[in-house]
Amino acid sequence: MNPGAVEEGADVAKTVIGALKGEPISLALIVMNVIFVGVMATGAYALNVRTTARYEAQDALIHKLLDQCGPGGRRTFFRAPTLDDPIGSTDHEDRH
């Protein structure tokens, strides 16, 4: 009678555990690889969150600048986000 899939899986697991008991360095390498993959995944996630936030802030600033340069107001090449008047407007050229 042939053993089923569960029995075959159990035999493979017993063989692997027996081999790892015989060579602890193999077990240590497997554990270190799992830890390395976990740390790299966590770091990649943190970098992704930071990059996404940066792009969202940049997009918001770009949309704000484009709204200030729209057809309803004065047309300028650039309007500083913290100033009321556009940079280079003719009203403030006497400051030189």
Give just the sign of the alpha carbon dihedral 83, 89, 90, 93: positive
pLDDT of residue 54: 94
Give per-residue pLDDT as tens, 34-80.
Answer: 999 999 999 999 999 999 999 999 998 988 888 877 665 555 555 55
pLDDT of residue 96: 45
Start-to-end CA distance of the chain, whole Å, equals: 98
pLDDT of residue 78: 56
